[in-house]
Amino acid sequence: MSSPSDTDKTNDAARRRRRRSNSLLLVLAVGFLVFGAAAGALYYALRPEVLRIAVGPPGSDDHKVVEAMADAFASESRTVRLSPIKADGAVESLALLRAGKADLAVGRGDLDMPADAQTVATLRKNFVVLWAPSGLAGKASKRKHAPKIKEIADLAGHRVGVIGRTPANAAFLRVILSASGVQADKVAIMHFGTDHIEELARDPTLDAFMAVGPLDSKITSDAIAATTRVRGAPKFLAIETSEAIALKHPRYESEEIPPGVFNADPAWPDDKVETVSVSHLIVARKTLSEATVAAFFRQLFAVRQAIARQVPGAAHITKPDTEKDAELPVHRGAAAVIEGNERSFLDRYGDYFWFALLLLSAIGSAGAWLRRYLNRDEREENTSHRNRLLAMVSSARTAETNQELLALQREADAIIAETLESYDDAAIEEEELAAFGLVLELLNHAIVERRAALQRGPLEPVRGAAVGHSLPPRG
């Protein structure tokens, strides 16, 4: 039959094994939690950012450039991807940005922008080209016809054919007319689609023409050539108030059309012509992350030349002017890259690292407290063992036989075994083990001293008796 002490020892051993198993499961759970958090953070940090960019209409130069840009980003960029969203035009693209359905949008600078829109890059610059036909000379006449429209002031009471059906072009023309001293309601405006150039050239009711586009635009060059073939050589109209327009309307810029840009022989125009321009912009909402916009901006100009080989219009992509007092400010992400003061990784996320360290410290403290809480029974048992050793010190000093000392030594061995097992399970700390060692050393000294005393004990009476027999009797 097993004794009660053996049963208690078996129960204690089983309890310690359960605690050891629970501690191991706790460590594994914490390890998996930390690994999962680290893996999630790494995935989030390394995954490409997908930006939705609204552009339109489908098939336009802007749409072709954005499609080529998205393909280039997909093959070369690890941080940014583009997802084009087709829109009916620039107005609709900006509406998608305003509604939060797009992260970026391509829009003309003189359109109604969202209140929080900011410039990321200039996609192209559109120049206003105004010209009037000189009329075809008769076969018998050797003199060239003089155009009846020689300057913008002469447009009053006449009709102007505007290429492009967007209302923005008509609004642009009215700004030019007003700045040139011409009442806008005195000039009739007729819109023609980009695919109706021949119809525009053959309309005899039109006295002047207007195109808005890049200087190398095929549409503008074809329109000038068509009107020249049907109506005579072009007379280009200078916008002499271009600087005043740019001053009053920051969305416009004063420009010059260089001679011969539309045709070399004969030169169209034959001299530089003062005009105004408006930019097509890639815009983003102010709330879009600075780091995201900076990454997009860097990647855009890294692949610009590759895009230009596929779509020539991409060659017009330029950086926005951060020093100009523009009506539409430059996004802080693009401005940081342009000005060379982009914040580093530690600058952006240093606060988060400090917070993470504090959080890990708090988690460590909480884990230590939890471990102490789960091991409180074993710590109490260790204290009980230490108190028992102190009591055994007193018992060792008053032991009468070596058998009692041997029993105390055996009990101490059992306590040592349990204590070391608890230490291996991290149930007690080194400080507690050191205190236990001091008490154990005290017990060992008491046992050794008492055993030596017991060994000397039987000899002392014999010596006393011998001494007594050798003494002479007292008289």
pLDDT tens digits along 384-436? 877 888 888 888 888 888 888 888 888 888 888 877 777 776 667 777 778 77
Beta-carbon contacts of 179 under 8 Å, excluding residues fewer than 6 positions away, are 239, 241, 244, 245, 248
| pLDDT confidence tier of residue 449, bands split at 50, 70 and 90 | confident
Question: Residue 461: its pLDDT value, please?
Answer: 45
Question: Residue 75: its pLDDT value, please?
Answer: 87
CA distance 417 to 308: 80
Q: Which of 85, 167, 69, 201 is nearest to 123 (CA)?
A: 69
Question: Residue 244: its pLDDT value, please?
Answer: 95
pLDDT tens digits along 288-306? 999 899 999 999 999 999 8
Q: Which of 431, 441, 124 is nearest to 278 (CA)?
A: 124
- Let me know the angle formed at the C-alpha of 349 by 44 and 285, rounded to the nearest 5 degrees: 75
pLDDT tens digits along 235-275? 999 999 999 999 999 899 999 999 999 999 899 999 999 99
Question: Residue 150: its pLDDT value, please?
Answer: 92
Q: At what angle do helices 430-456 and 402-424 cross, to 10 degrees?
A: 170
Q: Which of 126, 98, 97, 96 is nearest to 110 (CA)?
A: 126
Residue % of the chain over a pLDDT of 70: 77
In CATH terms, the superfamily for domain 118-137+144-343 is Periplasmic binding protein-like II (3.40.190.10)
CA distance 386 to 155: 110
297 residue type, one letter: F
Does the structure show a pLDDT above 70 at 378?
no
CA distance 147 to 131: 10
Beta-carbon contacts of 160 under 8 Å, excluding residues fewer than 6 positions away, are 173, 187, 188, 189, 190, 206, 207, 208, 209, 210
Question: Residue 423: its pLDDT value, please?
Answer: 72
Query: What's the mean per-residue pLDDT of the chain?
Result: 83
| pLDDT confidence tier of residue 460, bands split at 50, 70 and 90 | very low
Reply yes or no: is the peptide bond before residue 269 cis, omega within 30 of 0: yes
Question: Residue 328: its pLDDT value, please?
Answer: 87
| pLDDT confidence tier of residue 468, bands split at 50, 70 and 90 | very low
| pLDDT confidence tier of residue 475, bands split at 50, 70 and 90 | very low
**Who wins on pLDDT, 426 or 156?**
156
Three-class SS of residue 209?
strand
Q: How far is CA 346 from CA 44, 47, 117, 196, 429, in A?
A: 17, 19, 28, 56, 38
Q: What is the mean pLDDT of residues 7-15?
A: 58
